[in-house]
Amino acid sequence: MIPSDQVNTKETKAIYPYLPALVISEGQTIYGISPIARYLARNNPLYKSENEANTASIDSWLGIFDEESKKMCAHVISPILGHSDYTNKTYHESLASFKSFLRHLNNMGDYLVGSSMTIADLYGAAILFHPFALVIDDGLQKGIPKVVEWYKKITADPDFAEVYGVPRYCKVALKPALPAIENKDKKDKKDKKDKKDKKDKKKKGDSSSSSSSSSSDEDKKDKKEKKEKKEKKDKKDKKDKKDKKEKKEKKEKKDEEDKEDDEDEAPKKKQKNPLDLLPPSPFSLDTFKRGFFENKTPETRRKYIQEQFWKDFDDKGWALWYLDYIKAEGECEVLYKTSNLLGGFIWRIDTMGRYGFGVHGIFGEEPNLEIRGVYMWRSTDVPQFVKDHPSFEFYKTRKLDPASAEDRKLIEDFWCSDDDEKVLELRYREGKYFR
């Protein structure tokens, strides 16, 4: 087993050019998820069947899920988590293709192959674990009831649950964390050119019209007739436009009244955040933030933390946490992409700043960067809004002890360091505030 912090090192990649990898013996390695799964289950009834057609069908499903996983992860899941750049075209096409696959999958029986669970079912449910949490929302689930029933049955299997935990289901599909990359410069240039051409054409037309009208009384007469016709047409167009506007306003008014009636019939009660129901704390987050940001340099901020924050902090109503991102293959190799990944995490919890404070940063050197952060949150546990974050499960967490000198230094280093300073022996590249 390769430790997570060594997965993307040059040494590891020199030995294993592709991951995941399973070393069978010296000089013999199997690469890829489904080939490894086939090998490990080679003598297991979940894969090996006396019916050769069933075994071939299992292989077929493993290949299908492999293909769907590649497209879905690269063009839909990664943009939602802020892991990669994307274009609107590839995102929507991949999402539509995935939905089409799910509708096809809905024609299944109780299991993918035969009358009992096979490795194809386990593999397929594992591939759909994140899509169900991020994009297969209530609306889509209603259209694929057999898939949902099958998925719940497989994920309830004790062996599956031991590895993957409790499955999550999204009510509304999440959108990409960052805007799509589109060729805006090209469009801007074209728009500018079209505008200039139109302006030049109009200028030329006005000049030509003026010249011809002054040269002939007949032209003046023609111009007058054209003007009268245009005024009549404009008058008619104006009347039509007014009628359309009135019709539209009447419809909008009726729709608004219908909406108000619906809201009156089923009033929604705004739910309180559980954090607002906690016992009062003497620690004032607003006062702390004001004092922290009034100090403009790392040195004065560190002094403020040491002299004021530790005196005011209430460990019965607040808790301090260290987060360390578990990188996947190919992640955190390029600084700007890593910055997008970090930005996606902060963006999804940014509205909850009244319940905490933190600094989340990028450390180290390309191509082996690390994403780490230190947060202070209301409650002595990790708040539910953080647990519900789609990327939170990819973080290792440790509760920090405000009475420990070592943990105090860690908090001060994260919150008060400047670019290029060393934090946990790694160069601080950039950071974002959760405020």
Q: What is the pLDDT of residues 341-373, one digit of tens each?
A: 888 888 888 778 889 999 999 999 999 999 999
* Per-residue confidence band for 264, with pLDDT thresholds at 50, 70 and 90: very low
Q: For residues 305-337, b (16+ Cβ closer than 10 Å) or e, as one string? A: beeebeeebeeeebbbbbbbbebbeebbeebeb
Whether the per-residue pLDDT at 204 is higher than 70: the answer is no
Q: For residues 278-287, b (16+ Cβ closer than 10 Å) or e, as one string? A: eeeeebebee
pLDDT at position 379, please? Answer: 93
Please tell me the least confidently modeled range out of 73-87, 128-142, 254-268.
254-268
pTM: 0.47
Whether the per-residue pLDDT at 185 is higher than 90: the answer is no
Whether 91 contacts 176, CB under 8 Å: yes
pLDDT at position 267, please? Answer: 47
Residues recorded for the chain: 435
pLDDT, mean of residues 267-271: 57
Whether the per-residue pLDDT at 184 is higher than 50: the answer is no
Report CA torsion sign: 258, 259, 262, 267.
Answer: negative
* Per-residue confidence band for 206, with pLDDT thresholds at 50, 70 and 90: low
Q: What are phi and psi of 349, to 5 degrees?
A: -120, 5
Whether the per-residue pLDDT at 432 is higher than 50: the answer is yes
Separation of CA 150 from chain center: 27
* Per-residue confidence band for 86, with pLDDT thresholds at 50, 70 and 90: confident
Q: How far is CA 379 from CA 134, 211, 212, 360, in A?
A: 26, 80, 82, 20
Give percent of the chain with pLDDT exceeding 90: 30
Please tell me the least confidently modeled range out of 65-69, 261-265, 331-335.
261-265
Structure tokens at 75: 């063009």
Structure tokens at 348: 């999804």
Place of tokens 């405020």: 435
Q: How far is CA 428 from CA 220, 244, 292, 336, in A?
A: 76, 60, 20, 14
